Amino acid sequence: MTLALAATLTGVGVAVAPAGATAPAAYSATSALREVAAEPVARKRLSKAAKKARKQRKRLQTVATPPEPAPAPAVPSTPAEIAIAFARAQLGDPYGWGGSGPDVWDCSGLTMRAWEAAGVLLPRTTVQQYRATTPITAAQLLPGDLVFWASNPARPRTIHHVALYLGADRVLHAPNPERPVEEQMLTYNGTPAFFTRPGLVSG
Among all residues, which ones are annotated catalytic?
A: 107, 161, 173
Can you give the length of the chain in residues?
203
User: Residue 148: which of 128, 177, 118 has the closest Cα?
Assistant: 128
> CA dist 189 to 151, 166, 176, Å?
12, 16, 12
What is the rounded distance in angstroms from the CA atom of residue 14 to the CA atom of residue 6?
9
User: CA 56, 60, 63: angle at the middle one, nearest 5?
Assistant: 140
Cα(137)–Cα(30) distance, integer angstroms: 103
